[in-house]
Amino acid sequence: MIVFGPIPSRRLGRSLGINNIPPKICSYSCVYCQIGTTNSMSIDRKEFYSCEEIVNEVSEKVKQLQNNNEQIDYLTFVPDGEPTLDKNLGREIELLKPLGIKIAVITNSSLLWDEKVRRDLFGADWVSVKIDTVDEDIWHKIDRPNGKLELENILTGIKSFASEFKATFVTETMLVNGLNDSPESLRKTVEFISGINPDKSYILVPTRPPAEKFVEPPTEENINVAYQIFDKTLNNVELLIGNEGTDFTYSSDAEKELISILAVHPMRSDAVEMFLRKANSDWDLIENLINKNILKKVSYSGETFLVKNIKSKLKGS
């Protein structure tokens, strides 16, 4: 499914997700990625789904949800890979505008050196760009970029986009214990962010099962230090270190909708249980999907999560 949710978003309220990139095609293979390691590394933009297919599926879902009086705050491009790899992104945003719902894009920033990518994003109402670090060595360790990418070009592209974009512009920095959470690294990151003047700067830590087992959130002390460094220089800083809640939307087909969410968004077991109650279903559905190797349980930071099995994802199930 191209459309999933709405899901509760810590940044965007009730967000209807648009999965415009097949799994897992990305320009990065971030160590903390909740979808898993990148199996198809690329920086080449192409058409993955037709504009008509995306717009029709989104429109049908919006109509269904509105008929059920479900709230939608944003249509959000937040796919299995990097959304700007879709060469039709700008056209899709344009065609979705008549729905009258704000459009968000969450990008890893890696293609912002490309003027066409920047232009495609101009139609969005809210864009988040990722800036985990401005240090070349740390960048390679945490974001593990495609070999053709150059950090200096990306940072220049981010500056250009920030100066041109007229709607809400935010940054997000994911902190990983021992990688990019030292005061020296953080000060360099903040110095760059202050120069592009975002509407808000988010500090995140891993809260869902990451691609690599060694990934852990920073200590509470280091999170506090990071916040103080950000807050001293930047105008509007917010920590995102909690979970997003359990208010996931059910509308018609519990199994299909749950799998579409879990393909891009691991859910804690309590959130899955609440979803099943809304659907008048029970845990037998989950056990059946686990037995079929479609879903699996993963433990992280003392919580149990349900995630979609990467192998089943690649088979298109």
User: Taking the domains of the chain in order of start, what are their residue ranges?
Assistant: 3-244
Rg over alpha carbons for the chain, rounded to the nearest Å, is 19
Q: What is the pLDDT of residues 65-118, one digit of tens each?
A: 999 888 999 999 988 899 999 999 999 999 999 999 999 999 999 999 999 999
Query: Is the sign of the CA dihedral 278, 282, 287, 293 positive or negative?
Result: negative
Collapsing DSSP states into helix, strand and coil, what is residue 29? Answer: coil
Nearest by Cα to 84 from 136, 130, 120: 120
Dist CA 314 CA 317 (whole Å): 8
The CATH number fitting domain 3-244, selected from 3.10.129.10, 3.20.20.70, 3.30.360.10, 3.30.1600.10: 3.20.20.70
Q: Indicate the pTM of the whole model.
A: 0.79
β partners of residue 292: none
Cβ proximity of 142 and 185 under 8 Å = no
Cis peptide bond prior to 6, omega within 30° of 0: yes
Q: What are phi and psi of 9, to 5 degrees?
A: -115, 135
- CB-based contacts of 142: which residues, under 8 Å, 6+ apart? 30, 31, 32, 132, 133, 174, 176, 179, 180
**Each residue's pLDDT expressed in tens, for the chain with a length of 317 residues:** 789 888 878 788 889 999 999 888 999 999 999 888 888 999 999 999 999 999 999 999 999 999 988 899 999 998 889 999 999 999 999 999 999 999 999 999 999 999 999 999 999 999 999 999 999 999 999 999 999 999 999 999 999 999 999 999 999 999 999 999 999 999 999 999 999 999 999 999 888 788 899 999 988 888 888 988 998 999 899 887 655 444 555 556 778 777 767 765 567 787 788 778 877 888 888 888 888 888 877 775 677 777 776 554 433 33
Amino acid (one-letter) located at 301: S
* Residue carrying the six token digits 């898993």: 36
CA 26 to chain centre: 12
Token representation of residue 308: 């979609």
Question: pLDDT value at position 75?
Answer: 97
Question: pLDDT value at position 272?
Answer: 80
Query: Is the sign of the CA dihedral 35, 39, 40, 43 positive or negative?
Result: positive
Collapsing DSSP states into helix, strand and coil, what is residue 201? Answer: strand
